[in-house]
Structure 1
Amino acid sequence: MQPIGFPGLGLEFNIDPVAFRAFGIPIYWYGIIISIGFMIAVILAHYEARRVGLNSEVILDVALYGTPSAIVGARLYYVLFNWSFYKNNIMEIFSIRHGGMAIYGAILAALLSTVIYCKINKVDLWKVCDIGALGLLIAQAIGRWGNFVNQEAYGGPTRLPWRMEIFDIDAQARISVHPTFLYESLWNLVGFLFLFWYRKRKKFDGEIFLLYGLWYGLGRFWIEGMRADSLYWGSFRISQVVAFVSVFLCAGLLIYYRKNKKAY
């Protein structure tokens, strides 16, 4: 793997995507980083559930059902919008280790499984979503560093002082690009810190989740415009379309509920 440089900052990193091997099986940094983010999210959600009087076992159940749903959703989303390739390479659909996961697919699938779980078990959906939103943001902030190690999810060319320099296989040369993984990681971290502070001041159940959708959607719409590896639907970047819809819906619901629900 070629080194990752930040020439404007005088930094260079040589990171092997494989952290170590267990019984001959490569264990990748990407998976380790994602797992760390997931564990921190679950631990945070566990304690947050206890704080608001929700059975913490509910959080474990939601994570148990939501995790495989998110993996399947992330893959299906990516495959769906890359069907021109996968229709002729069906077996590649199952080759997750070759890459191809989409965060919005993961979020939508995990949300669907949570809705179904809460409906069946008569659990307050909005309260669970508020807790989950905090975990999602911190997990996403951490998870983006897996993209850094893999040298993926980067942006277009730039000469800004904080530009990232990587080796481009197609160009067979080193190029300077926007470190969009870093932009999104920082955006999510700021959003998490704000929502963590605001959670004790929320006006109604569901507000934290809707603010998450609004905040992440705004950031993703902006950052996606710089990405060099976007999935497209015609001439539209799919993630920008989803982000726009997310912002529109969450903003509308926030306005509606603020007008029609009493504050605590």
Structure 2
Amino acid sequence: MNHFAVITIDLNPNLLQVGPITLTWHGIFSVLGILATIRLAAWIATRDGFTPEQIYDGAFWAVVVGLIGARLHFVLENYRLFAGHLIRVLYVNEGGISQWGGVFGAMVGLLIWARWKKYSFWKLLDAAGPGALLGLGIGRIGDIINGEHHGTPTNLPWAVNYVNPRTLGQPGLPVHPEVAYEMILCGLIVAALLPFHFRLMRRLPPGVLGLIYLGVYAFGRFFLSYFRADQIEFGLRQAQWASALMVLLAIVFVPILLRRRDERGPTLAPVPLGGGGETRTPPPEPPLQPESEPASDPGRRNHVEGGSTRNPKARGEEPSASPPGQ
């Protein structure tokens, strides 16, 4: 195969090692991606009635369950690596997490927290959708550096060739930068939808917008996985099965949610939407209670909200023969 031009990557995937602890580029950008996800989700959710503190509380559960799901999915995908060595499942310092396992795990964690706190899971999903794609895109930068997810061989000008001795890629073999394709896909979806996010969020039932983000990404990811040299199970690559599941969830739940006719109201205290100075409609104020008066002042017993009527007998006046209002 003739390679007219390739992109050479000569970076050690391990940035720093202190004793048994290894700091990797993958780990750094994974953490940055998680932080970006939480920050963007909090910014969006505060415009749907939540407070940042509540979002950070929910994010804790999403991250914890998401990490468990990411590790569990990786173990299931690579069960041959752990056969006879189950203790290695706990060796997370050696790396090994699955992106889709993290996504589904985070959704489960968010659902558990929302049910516990009696919040709308679908509103939270709307807020988390763009943040999730932003975080996934940032996390892929670490994968580009370490070459962990092998692409299929190619002679295209943007093929990547990993030459570092410690690389997790395939040294000397130009391949498709499939994880870079995924990063671009995430960026395009966020760039296309985020400018219209609040407008769509007001017009669509809760949950639809979040499923659109994840469903469109999963649809694109399904086809991008053909450029990835992953193990094939039952005719498809492992990531394609997970992508198909996400697309299926979107196809099933979007019509169900669209049939809901209830308006999207504030979950908690309403806050300004920002930009055009528009605010969500606040809940109606409780009715004002009549003011209580001392029993010793019979002339003020007819006090009502906004003023009072006189008691003519108490003032020695003759009552008027005209009915009230005339």
Q: Same fold (TM over 0.5)?
A: yes
Q: Looking at CA atoms only, which structure, 1 or 2, has the larger radius of gyration?
A: 2
- 1:224 is aligned to 225
Report Cα offsets for 1:43-67 as digits up to 9, x if no partner: 2122212222212222111111111
CA distance in 2, matches of 1:100, 1:171: 14
- 2:208 is aligned to 207
- 1:178 to partner: Cα distance: 0.5
- Alignment equivalent of 1:196, drawn from 190, 194, 197: 194
The verdict on how the C-alpha distance between 1:91 and 1:206 changes in structure 2, with shifts beyond 3 A counting, is same
* Bigger mean CA deviation after superposition, 97-106 or 163-172: 163-172
Report Cα offsets for 1:168-206 as digits up to 9, x if no partner: 999985111100010000001111122312312222211
CA distance in 1, matches of 2:127, 2:230: 31
- 1:133 is aligned to 129
CA distance in 2, matches of 1:26, 1:137: 27
- 1:8 is aligned to 5
8 Å CA contact 2:9, 2:160 repeated in 1: no
RMSD, aligned α-carbons: 2.6
- 2:282 is aligned to none
CA distance in 2, matches of 1:172, 1:71: 27
Secondary structure of the equivalent of 1:177? Answer: coil
CA distance in 1, matches of 2:35, 2:170: 38
- 1:19 to partner: Cα distance: 2.6
1:1-264 superposed matches below 5 A:
8=5, 11-21=7-17, 25-167=21-163, 174-202=172-200, 203-230=204-231, 232-261=232-261
- 1:259 to partner: Cα distance: 4.8
| Structure 1 unpaired stretches of 5+ | 1-5
8 Å CA contact 2:148, 2:169 repeated in 1: no
CA distance in 2, matches of 1:242, 1:257: 22
Higher-helix-fraction structure: 1
Question: What's the TM-score once normalised by structure 2's chain length?
Answer: 0.71
- 1:75 to partner: Cα distance: 0.9
* Bigger mean CA deviation after superposition, 65-74 or 175-184: 65-74
8 Å CA contact 2:208, 2:254 repeated in 1: yes
* Bigger mean CA deviation after superposition, 132-141 or 168-177: 168-177
- 1:70 to partner: Cα distance: 1.2
The verdict on how the C-alpha distance between 1:30 and 1:242 changes in structure 2, with shifts beyond 3 A counting, is closer
8 Å CA contact 2:230, 2:237 repeated in 1: no
- 1:146 to partner: Cα distance: 0.8
How many residue pairs get aligned? The number is 257
What letter corresponds to residue 33 of structure 1 in structure 2? F
8 Å CA contact 2:62, 2:110 repeated in 1: yes
User: How much identity, in percent, do the aligned residues show?
Assistant: 26
Secondary structure of the equivalent of 2:15? Answer: strand
CA distance in 2, matches of 1:95, 1:68: 16
Secondary structure of the equivalent of 1:176? Answer: coil
CA distance in 2, matches of 1:20, 1:85: 25
Secondary structure of the equivalent of 1:19? Answer: strand
- 1:239 to partner: Cα distance: 1.8
- 1:79 to partner: Cα distance: 1.0
- 1:3 is aligned to none
| Structure 2 unpaired stretches of 5+ | 265-326
Secondary structure of the equivalent of 1:159? Answer: coil
What letter corresponds to residue 186 of structure 2 in structure 1? N
CA distance in 2, matches of 1:164, 1:87: 33
CA distance in 2, matches of 1:126, 1:118: 9
The verdict on how the C-alpha distance between 1:67 and 1:165 changes in structure 2, with shifts beyond 3 A counting, is same
CA distance in 2, matches of 1:23, 1:85: 24
CA distance in 2, matches of 1:127, 1:44: 14
The verdict on how the C-alpha distance between 1:170 and 1:31 changes in structure 2, with shifts beyond 3 A counting, is closer
